[in-house]
Amino acid sequence: MSHQKSHQALWQLLTKNGRQIWAYKPDSNPIEEHLSNAHNFSEQELASFAKDFLFDREKNPSASDAIFRAQMQANNPRLEAQQKPSSKNPEEQKLIDSIINGIEYFSQLQSDEGHWAGDYGGPLFLLPGLLIASYLSDTPFPKPHQTMMQVYLFNHQHTDGGWGMHIEGEPTMFGTVMQYVSLRILGVDKEDARLSKARTWIKENGGATGIPSWGKFYLSLLNLYDWDGFNSLLPEMWLLPTWLPFHPSRYWCHSRMVYLPMAYCYAERIQAPENELILALREEIYCEDFASINWKKQRNTVCEKDIYTVQSPILKWTNLINNGYEQIKSQWLRKKTTAYLLSYINAEDAQTEYLDIGPVSKAINSVCIWHAYGKKSESFKKHVTRWYDYLWVAEDGMKMSGYNGSQLWDTAFTMRAMLESDLGLLFPKTLEKGEQFIDAMQIQAEHETHHEFFRHPMIGSWPFSTAEQGWPVADCTSEGLSATLALQKTGIFKQNINDERLKQAVDIILSYQNKDGGWPTYELQRAPKWLEKLNPSEIFADIMADYSWTECSAACSIALLDFQERFPNYKKAEIKQALSSGLNYIIKKQKQDGSWYGGWAVCFTYATWFSIEALMQGQAYIDSNEHKQCIQKASDFLLNKQMTDGGWGETYESCAKMTYTQADSSQVVNTAWAVLGLQAANSDNKQAIQQGVNLLLNRQLDNGDWAQENISGVFNYNCMITYSSYRNIFPIWALNRFYKNSITSEK
């Protein structure tokens, strides 16, 4: 691409069955070959990265995924619509052109195997974990990667010298110390002006003793903090009977899979040897002399800029007891415990082909496996190969993704957005490839150790990323199913997924419903809500159990409704019951102002759209008066939030504060959700819808894309995550619905 800076083109994304690897100057395509290739690079190329990947976070901290997109545009021909419908009405023609332009552009980004890849960065505490694993195990990344990581870290430094926990957030101790240490591991000199500034930030805010517990953990691994200053994780807890309400097998799977390898590292007191860098760092990140620090007193010290969840009195007591036990622990039991933890870590590695459930456990599991079996062991080597599955290159540098990708999720949504009206049918190739990908990603087997290690049944489910990663998700199963049903309804290609597999997916969705009627993320809620009082993370909320979520409940209800339309007699009574309690759960969650809080994207507009969608489609299951009122309130909420330019816009602060927080300018993604929601609700305020649609039309770029605006995703209330395809998927979907409605009303 001519407008691409030359050294950006040295990085290429290779994909295979949804696997995504960024390769530096790949000379051959297969991923395997690339991973074993030695890198040849010139110092000049490395030096040019800092220049060619110069990024201004002050303009917008969210990168637009320019490298990937330019590459796909350069390598793939633009897939044109089979024909362009023409309309006598110029307004309608404009709409048609925009939708087609939007799909043509987005189709060009589809991989050969049918999925949409994209930037899934955002959190800033992930890459440091991976760098620590590589540092401890003395397995450095290739130089080009290291340079690109440096570029990324510096690109996201705030002008005051600090870093946030995520790219949009204000600086925190966790963010700043972790990036600082990462840059030093990457070889940046202490005298670098940017690092001096960071040190000033750290010291002015009390020094690294105030880093939250996850940071204390990472620093302890590096021997930059004393394990004595870290509250005991009571590793033996894993050996307690599983019926206990606080047994870790009952934790939300992400917490479970993070605290598992953490417990191993803690039990083994894994620690880097002292060397020049470590000794220097000890002087750089603390306000006091390292040797003089009273570590036990630091266990609960947390910088006030970091605190999100305040430690409860019960947690403090529990810590006191656990720390006490640590003094008198039985060595025999400790050995038995670490053996168990290791067997669990091995099982998770094997079940996920060494991808592991997510980016945090991916790094910490690598550390455990290196510690247990050594650098030369087969299992450690397998871990290292999979480090690359988590790295992503954009115009802001190389980052660690929040997952091994969002492959299935984005592909399923895209199918549904395209098929909202007949215009999608003008792209049979795109649809067919999408169908093939969704087909390939349905999970069809269980590992023999699943049951032993507390996994939910998964045959027939879909994951968020790839089948290889293999963790089933309730609402991803639903999106996979809804997309498949929509694709099959077109009748235009071979139906790869047979009825039995569709029924298996429904069985999984049914198996996921919580007692309160709602749907969780990966597993049923296994622990009581009071366990949250023991949440030790300080920086996240609601991480201890897998609670029901509005959007997950909406997606699952919608999938059941879609399925029922096609198979009215399959498990009729059971599905009816599930829908009635599921939809009533959603009604119960509506807030006074008519909105719903969204736990996984920003924020109220997201969950309100999802809820309206489910409630309208499932109208028959709800008392009609209640339904009417609920939808009326929801529409009023959306209408109240429309901005003067016709759009809607929320900032990430909606998520943490849990109150609607309007952005300075409207956002296409929020606008698309609101426009989808108002249309689904059959709002009679046609003008409001038209204004929203106009905004989407006017913001579209000539090539069919939309500009990247604010970050769209979130987890655990307090950390944001990038969904780079949302800026295409949701405007296309909203416009496509508007088109469908306008032609039906003409008829």
Nearer to ligand LAN, 45 or 523 (CB): 523
Contact letters for ligand LAN, residues 365-404 (x by CB under 6 A): -------------------------------------xx-
Beta bridge partners of 549: 519
Please state, in angstroms and rounded to a whole number, the distance separating the CA atoms of residues 535 and 305.
18
Query: Closest approach of Cβ 415 to ligand LAN, in Å?
Result: 16
Nearer to ligand LAN, 247 or 254 (CB): 254
Site for ligand LAN in 339-358 (CB under 6 A): 358
Nearer to ligand LAN, 262 or 631 (CB): 262
Site for ligand LAN in 235-274 (CB under 6 A): 254, 258
Check residue 631 for interaction with ligand LAN (CB under 6 A): no
Query: Closest approach of Cβ 737 to ligand LAN, in Å?
Result: 21
Angle at 231 between CA 296 and CA 132, to 5 degrees: 100
Query: Closest approach of Cβ 465 to ligand LAN, in Å?
Result: 9
Query: Closest approach of Cβ 362 to ligand LAN, in Å?
Result: 9
Check residue 711 for interaction with ligand LAN (CB under 6 A): no
Nearer to ligand LAN, 651 or 716 (CB): 716
Nearer to ligand LAN, 223 or 553 (CB): 553
Query: Residues binding ligand LAN: what is the number (CB under 6 A)?
Result: 20
Q: Are 522 and 577 in contact (CB under 8 A)?
A: no
Q: How crowded is residue 327: how many other Cβ atoms within 10 Å of its Cβ? A: 7
Check residue 709 for interaction with ligand LAN (CB under 6 A): no
Check residue 458 for interaction with ligand LAN (CB under 6 A): no
* Residue 313 Cα distances to 535, 603, 697, 741, angstroms: 11, 31, 53, 55
Q: Buried (b) or exposed (e) across 252-290, using 16+ Cβ within 10 A?
A: bbbbbbbbbbbbbbbbbebbbeeeebbeebbebbbeeeb
* Residue 180 Cα distances to 164, 202, 557, angstroms: 12, 9, 45
Residues 192, 197, 203, 208, Cα dihedral to 10°: -60
Dihedral sign of CA atoms 323, 327, 331, 333 in order: negative
**HEC assignment per residue over 448-500:** CCCCCCCCCCCCCCCECCCCCCCCECHHHHHHHHHHHHHHHHHCCCCCCCCHH
The SS3 call for residue 165 is coil
* Residue 460 Cα distances to 406, 413, 520, 558, angstroms: 19, 19, 17, 17
Please state, in angstroms and rounded to a whole number, the distance separating the CA atoms of residues 300 and 216.
10
Check residue 715 for interaction with ligand LAN (CB under 6 A): yes
Of 389, 475, 507, 705, which one is the catalytic site residue?
475
Closest CA to 212 of 534, 540, 532: 540
Annotated active-site residue 636? The verdict is no
Contact letters for ligand LAN, residues 464-483 (x by CB under 6 A): x--------x-xx-------
Nearer to ligand LAN, 467 or 693 (CB): 467
Token pair belonging to 563:
């399925």
Count the residues in the chain. Answer: 747
Nearer to ligand LAN, 8 or 608 (CB): 608
Site for ligand LAN in 549-608 (CB under 6 A): 551-552, 600
Residue nearest to ligand LAN (CB): 715
Where does this chain touch ligand LAN (CB under 6 A) — which range of 166-174, 312-320, 558-566, 715-723? Answer: 715-723
Query: Closest approach of Cβ 547 to ligand LAN, in Å?
Result: 11
Query: Closest approach of Cβ 137 to ligand LAN, in Å?
Result: 21
* Residue 489 Cα distances to 437, 461, 493, 567, 680, angstroms: 17, 20, 10, 13, 20
Query: Closest approach of Cβ 522 to ligand LAN, in Å?
Result: 7
Helices 407-418 and 726-746: crossing angle in degrees, nearest 10, is: 20
Check residue 130 for interaction with ligand LAN (CB under 6 A): no
Query: Closest approach of Cβ 489 to ligand LAN, in Å?
Result: 24
Nearer to ligand LAN, 10 or 367 (CB): 367
Nearer to ligand LAN, 65 or 551 (CB): 551
Beta bridge partners of 715: 719
Check residue 546 for interaction with ligand LAN (CB under 6 A): no
Check residue 721 for interaction with ligand LAN (CB under 6 A): yes
Beta bridge partners of 520: none
Query: Closest approach of Cβ 123 to ligand LAN, in Å?
Result: 7
The bridge status of strand 19-24 relative to strand 163-164 is: unpaired
Type and span of the H or E element at 675: helix 668-680
Nearer to ligand LAN, 207 or 598 (CB): 598
Query: Closest approach of Cβ 367 to ligand LAN, in Å?
Result: 15
Check residue 521 for interaction with ligand LAN (CB under 6 A): yes
Please state, in angstroms and rounded to a whole number, the distance separating the CA atoms of residues 522 and 455.
9
Check residue 536 for interaction with ligand LAN (CB under 6 A): no
Q: Which of 169, 210, 261, 359 binds ligand LAN (CB under 6 A)?
A: 359
Question: Which residues form the catalytic set?
Answer: 475
* Residues at the interface with ligand LAN (CB under 6 A): 254, 258, 358-360, 402-403, 409, 464, 473, 475-476, 521, 540, 551-552, 600, 715-716, 721
